[in-house]
Copies of this chain bind each other. A is one copy, B any other.
Amino acid sequence: MKKSGKKDRREDIQEAAIEVIARKGYFQSTVKQIAEEAGVSAGTVYNYFEDKQDIIFKTFSSELEDRKKVYEAVFGKDISLFGQIRMVLDRHFSKAAKQEQLMKVIIQEKSKPGLRLGRKLNECYEEGILEVANLVEEYLEEDQIRECDPTVVASAMFGAVESVMWYGLLRDPETRVEIFDQAPDALANFFWKGMKKQTK
């Protein structure tokens, strides 16, 4: 099941890995299955990756770096908190829509203990939560939002996003598109209303 076009082997294998792992989970996917999906032999995989973990670890690493940059860019903008949340969610869901399988894997394999992979994901997750918590704290100090523990709120938001995304990923394509379309606005409103100071 070779992918067409001009991509190199390395990418073929990474894509195949994501495909297979999204379907069966990391530990129940074998290198052989991934190789087959990529249209190469098992040995070839090891010409491009250190070991099994490395196949997706590298994908994740670069993917997560990319995202971090996107989000940091948004958080640096001089717009309202609501605007920032809205924008981040927008980019998040529209990117996810093009990487369904990868999103599945990320959600599934997060917080696996004793796995470079899981640890890395957890780390990024925590970093993201902290980042958002800092943002919330700023606004809290400016008295724009009601009293709350910023890390708890940030954690709640992350979880909410992930959950909605997972919910969408399990639906048929049309429903998914619908959900992903309305999710950014719905969630941004939900979050913003949920934490803003009651205007009288």
Binding site for B on A (CB under 8 A): 23-25, 27-28, 107-108, 111-115, 118, 122, 126, 129, 146, 148-149, 151-153, 155-164, 166-167, 170, 179, 182-183, 186-187, 189-191, 193-195, 198
A108 touching B107 by the CB < 8 A rule?
no
B151 touching A167 by the CB < 8 A rule?
yes
A152 touching B129 by the CB < 8 A rule?
no
**Which secondary structure characterizes the binding site on chain A?**
helix
A163 touching B166 by the CB < 8 A rule?
no
B25 touching A115 by the CB < 8 A rule?
yes
A111 touching B107 by the CB < 8 A rule?
yes
Distance of A9 from chain B, by nearest CB (Å): 18
Q: Which of B28, B113, B189 contacts A115 (CB 8 A)?
A: B28
B108 touching A108 by the CB < 8 A rule?
no
Distance of A102 from chain B, by nearest CB (Å): 15
Excluding A27-B27, A111-B166, 5 further A-B contacts by CB distance (< 8 Å) are: A108-B111, A156-B160, A159-B166, A190-B194, A193-B198
